[in-house]
Amino acid sequence: MEIIPAVDIRGGRCVRLYQGDYGRETVFANNPVEVARRWQDEGATRLHVVDLDGAREGSPVNAELVGRIVAAVRVPVQVGGGLRQMPAIRRYLDAGVDRVVLGTAAVKDRALLSQAVAEHGQRVVVGVDARTGMVAVEGWEEQTRLAAAELMSELAGLGVSRFIYTDTARDGTLEGPDLRGIEGLVAGVSVPVIYAGGVSGVDDLVRLASLGLEGAIVGKALYTGDVVLREALEVLGSGQPA
C-alpha cells in the first residue's frame, strides 16, 4: 500500500483543517514547497496536494504554488481543489501534475467528468468525501443525501479508474479510521481506492493495508510526528503500488 503525504494549501501556507472546518485551521509551515521536498526526501513515492482555497472558491487559487511544488520534486503529484472546468484540468496536467482529483465536479457535472475521463483516462481520479457514508461537496461545506458507495459504483461504471475516499468526520482528528466501514466500501468497488481520514499511527496503516486499499493519504499524523514516514515505509515496504 502506498503511503501518500498530504500537502494542504490555504493562503499560501501548509495547513491542516479539523474535519474540513475552515474555522479550525492549524498552520504547520509557511512554505509548502519545502514541505513537499521534505516528504520526498523521507521516501514518499507520491504527494497529495489540495488547494483548499480553490475547493472553497470553485476554481484553482493556488495554481502558481502548485506548479512550483511540481517543479521542485521528482515524485508524482496528484492535485485537487476547485477543478470544475476543463481548462483548469488541462492546465494542471500540461504543467506536469500526474493526476487531477475531481470532487464536486464529479457529483454535479457528469458531462465534465465524462469528458475529462475520455481525454485523460487514469490521470483523472474522483475524490469521494463523505460523512457517515453520505457525500459532501463544495469544499465539504454542502452535505448531500447521496451515499458514497452508490456514487462510487455508478462512476466506476462510467469509466472512473480510481477513487480517493475521505472520511470527513475523521479527517484531521487522529482518531483512527473506521476499518469496518472502509472494508465494506472497498468490497463493493471494482477499481482501486485510496483512503484518507483520521490515520493516527503506523498500526492504522498496517490495518488499512490489510483491507486491499491501493494507498492511504496521511496528513496531520505526519505533521505531529505520530507517523514517521521513513519508519512507516519500512514497516509497509516501499509503498509503491504495482
Angle at 227 between CA 209 and CA 102, to 5 degrees: 60
Distance CA 33, CA 87 (A): 24
CB 7 within 8 A of CB 32: yes
Q: How crowded is residue 71: how many other Cβ atoms within 10 Å of its Cβ?
A: 11
Which of 51, 129, 171, 204 is an active site residue?
129
Residue 91 DSSP code: H
**Does residue 41 have an active-site annotation?**
no
- 170 neighbors 133 (Cβ within 8 angstroms): no
Q: How far from 235 is each of 23, 66, 86, 228, 231, CA to CA, in Å?
A: 35, 30, 40, 11, 6
**127 near 137, Cβ under 8 Å?**
no
In degrees, to the nearest 5, what angle opens at C-alpha 130 toward C-alphas 235 and 192?
50
Set 8, 51, 53, 167: catalytic member: 8
Cβ-based neighbour number of residue 5 at 10 Å: 26
In this structure, what C-alpha cell is assigned to residue 57? 472558491
CA 22, CA 20: separation in Å to the nearest integer?
Answer: 6
Reply yes or no on whether 203 is catalytic.
no
Q: Which three cell numbers, joined as nine digits, stand for 150?
A: 452508490
CA dihedral 139, 142, 147, 153 (to 10 degrees): -40
- Catalytic site positions: 8, 129
